Structure 1
């Protein structure tokens, strides 16, 4: 009796295993619908037309491919033995049709990557409106995954699925192939094209061949008679379909296809193909659209705002060396960009305000300088001689700035340092903390144009090839703001006057020397 009971137990166990295996085989042959929980308030429907995967790893890959998940994760299922609480999935056999699976990210600091909302189609795997990637909304052409290792044929319309189901049954029973009607074929190609566009607009021949092979494998009734691989005609049809889709997208202004239009290539149409702009190195987002609601101008403003705040944080908190900072932000060190940066910092235009006020005060300054006696008066009269030889606006401004230093009992040669071309790049220039440099040709006559004018900070030529000494002085003043530098101690009165009298920045609080000059200028 004991032996009989053992035999019965073995028989029951074997029968259960066979039944379980039969269920697995049936699941692998029939479409499976799964509810996938990607995160809080984010559940998606996943349809596996070819049935359940052979392994948990393949199922995880299906989830990654369909929903654009890039992080590593494990899956949990609802176990009925524990009141449908979620437990880790360790065997595919635990999954049934309409089961609910939960994605648990291995890096808990990561958040699920949401698939973009595609304007071209709505996949059966997408059942909610995705959250925008940025504050202004994501672009329809933004993609989150590369071409899948196994292409998944999308769910077709209800009517098309019924036709294919019936035709597949007839093919299995008697080998009858389906000759799809123009309407059905057009629908199939349209849905396949929509799925392809999720990954690339310019699929290769291998990509199209893979799609065609997967299509006839999943729906054998569509296999072509007489074709060497049973799907060559589908591949060609997909190729033409994708070309038509690109034409429509180009008309809608899609950037990644518009870039290949003739107007963006060579003027000679016979040479148009020489400048084809297509992805060449598996770029997923080769030329994405602007985010929703954004334009070139709005994005440029955002870029400037972000760049400005980031740069100011680096300048103020990091206090980098000039050489390092210039290598990181080379575009800042131009006349135009310094003017813009100063305006962002102070809300006051640099060059226009500087020269307008300087020219406005010039007549009165010249009177004050001529009336100055002693050593300072002689120095200023010597500087002003240049005006009698070359009475241009540039010369007059340069003489006024130099004389201003002398009037304030500071050394004008600390502000403007002059060298001959044989003395250029000497140790004296390398040791200059801050100033304007002027390089003359050796043996040049007074009044001759200098060979070069630039700005030195920490021994680095931050600006070169400037038009005049006055412009160089104004840009030096602007760079002090841009780089958050202190005024040179030996020129602090000169820069205070430039700031508070010329530029009218914080002009209510003046040192006694600057206040004395202001009273004279206003008198």
Structure 2
């Protein structure tokens, strides 16, 4: 007697059905497709994909019935038919459609419809976006992320520059601060999900919650066997939900934290009917915390706040600085971006030839700007006048950002020319140049003098 099999069938993001097979899994892939068609009234023209547990549940095209397992997951993917409208085209070398037809060639009649599919294939096909064009799009994105209510434009441009960004990350392997500076939108919650989908073709939220639901029964069984202090905390969480007979994702995560020997209280803090001022004050006292806001115990939370102290990324413009002469002023700007919370102190330092740091003040500090991901940015501008500030022959100019998440520093070199007496090396070089010029002058002088004497002699002869 065959064993009844069950399959989870995904049709789209909102439609997931259960398929019961009383006779077990069919022996052929075609029979399985016929069962799906008859059970769910699925129109013809689709292919099947299956989740492979060896690759973390990623989807693969189903080509063998051996890959279908009981309680496995399949996805129905509609295959759109490809319609090609061919038409006869006059060739430039004089070969007409009539002459082609006479050579046992069947030609389809041209359509009267002037749609693009009925037109000849263009001879010059434009190739995709260039590297320079993609870099221009990236620079435009840096401006777009500073605007409000701009999620759709950001999404479109992030989608357009995906291949360029992916190539950069894989080949150059930049640091996280560099990625944040070049692609700040990549750290938005919405774009984290979108980028995950672009790379894996999997919905992050849906996949995570689906997997959690799949493993929740087994996890609950394991949780209930835990003893000691961790077991007591786990039972307290489960008992608070036992009356509703519903184990929420929140409860499973809390139990998992306790099961692993960690303290959920150190990571998660619950608020019930607490004023906004109290919450804002508590945020200042935490560097990493998940705040769960609710109106009453046991009720689904109304909001969740994740507190992360993120230090700023610093950039100095222009870099490198141009050469300056005494009395000439050059303006330098420091840009701090991607930091939370808001509190930030910006200052400038200078280190000369003596190696001692010297404070140059805060400069002209701008107001803060908040990006769509909730992080802040701020800038400081400083006018460097080597004569007024006593910067000598130059040195190293630094922008220092002091933040709750850590201190960051960016540096740039300042070179001042024509300030003091030349060094020994410079003096030797100038002497060598002077001797060379002197020798050259002597050669020209000797040559012209000899020529002049010859001319005098010729005129003196009778």
What is the TM-score normalised by the length of structure 1? 0.26
Compare the two structures and name the one with the higher strand fraction. Answer: 2
Q: Give me the TM-score of the superposition, normalised by structure 2.
A: 0.29
